[in-house]
């Protein structure tokens, strides 16, 4: 028995003084109303309504239940109205997960504009480099830099992350300049723990040919900023996204090596659980990020 539906039947019978009128109001049959009332009385083990050919009257138990059941139905209605409003108006806490470097360098400058546009949305940003389970860990949205997206979630592409392979001038002076990917096997390399390539770096060479090389780690870190600091100090050859080390290359602190070879670009994805019943706060954030990446970054769609 659907007890909430049974309470709805019971309250309508009492309010309208008739099984038939209650059935009309609920768009069902009098027999169905009668069945629900009988099942409710059987469940509670007490008679709720005295029935005669002329009128209905409540028992003592019925009177006690009527006020409480009516209150419960009103609370349910108010709760549903709140949920409907939340789905239409962007408001409430929005939990977002993003990689640490990307969240700090690229996303953080965007948040003030979003907050000014949607003051009723409270941003809760968690910068974690590992891949989180957005449903299990309670996130509304996750930003991932990945060549693949989880088949369990919806992915919306925001842009592309282009990686640079670099070393400091001091390291190159001491160890020489790698010219082709195979040279990297003889160099100290600085890696990213969560990188999809692990210890095998892949490149697209002249003419589009694909080459890969297994590298030797001098240092591996679960955060790109740590690897960057080691590279700047002359610790080895690093690959990192342009948004992390592009400024260092422009300033001459790092030098791009093997300019004829490129690592394949990686998509920047917004990941969320489902398209169905997407809340307004998630919907406006997705649109905001798409517009921000296309209209406000120095290289639209590419990082």
Which tens digit of pLDDT belongs to each residue from 92-138? Answer: 899 999 999 899 999 999 999 999 999 999 999 999 888 888 888 88
pLDDT tens track, the chain, 303 positions:
788 888 898 888 888 888 888 888 888 898 988 998 899 888 888 898 988 777 888 888 888 888 888 888 878 776 776 666 556 788 889 999 999 989 999 999 999 999 999 999 999 999 988 888 888 888 999 999 876 655 567 888 898 888 899 999 999 999 999 999 999 999 999 988 876 566 888 899 888 788 889 998 899 888 888 899 999 999 999 999 898 999 999 999 999 999 889 988 888 999 988 766 678 899 999 999 999 988 434 343 456
CATH 3.40.190.10 boundaries in the chain: 92-154+268-297, 163-256
The backbone torsions φ and ψ at residue 299, rounded to the nearest 5 degrees and listed phi first, read: -125, 90
Q: Where in the chain is the domain with CATH 1.10.10.10?
A: 3-83
Beta bridge partners of 204: 210, 262
CATH 3.90.640.10 is right for the domain spanning 3-83:
no
Q: What confidence score (pLDDT) does residue 87 get?
A: 60
What is this structure's pTM? 0.66
Q: Which fold, 163-256?
A: D-Maltodextrin-Binding Protein; domain 2 (3.40.190)
CATH of 92-154+268-297, one of 3.40.50.2300, 3.40.190.10, 3.40.1010.10, 3.40.50.300: 3.40.190.10
């Amino acid at each position: 028995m659907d007890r909430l539906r049974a309470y709805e039947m019971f309250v309508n019978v009492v309010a309208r003084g008739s099984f038939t009128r209650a059935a009309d109001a609920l768009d069902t049959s009098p027999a169905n109303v009668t069945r629900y009332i009988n099942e409710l009385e059987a469940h509670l083990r007490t008679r709720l309504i005295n029935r005669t050919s002329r009128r209905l009257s409540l028992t003592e138990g019925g009177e006690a239940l009527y006020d409480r059941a009516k209150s419960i139905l009103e609370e349910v209605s108010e709760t549903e109205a709140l949920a409907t409003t939340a789905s239409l108006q962007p408001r409430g806490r929005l939990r977002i997960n993003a990689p640490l470097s990307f969240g700090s360098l690229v996303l953080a400058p965007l948040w003030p504009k979003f907050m000014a546009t949607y003051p009723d949305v409270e941003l809760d940003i968690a910068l974690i480099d590992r891949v989180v389970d957005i449903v299990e860990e309670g996130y509304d949205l996750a930003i991932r830099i990945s060549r693949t997206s989880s088949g369990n979630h919806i992915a919306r592409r925001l842009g592309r992350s282009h990686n640079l392979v670099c070393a400091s001038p001091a390291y190159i002076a001491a160890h020489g300049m790698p010219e082709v990917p195979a040279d990297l096997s003889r160099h100290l390399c600085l890696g990213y723990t969560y990188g999809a390539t692990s210890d095998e770096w892949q490149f697209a060479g002249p003419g589009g040919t694909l080459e890969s090389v297994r590298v030797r780690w001098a240092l591996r870190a679960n955060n790109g900023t740590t690897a960057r600091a080691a590279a700047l100090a002359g610790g080895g050859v690093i690959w990192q996204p342009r948004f992390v080390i592009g400024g260092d290359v422009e300033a001459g602190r790092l030098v791009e090596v093997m300019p004829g070879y490129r690592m394949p670009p990686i998509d920047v994805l917004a990941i969320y659980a489902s398209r169905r019943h997407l809340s307004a706060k998630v919907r406006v954030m997705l649109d905001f990020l798409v517009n921000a990446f296309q209209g406000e970054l120095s290289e639209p769609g590419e990082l």
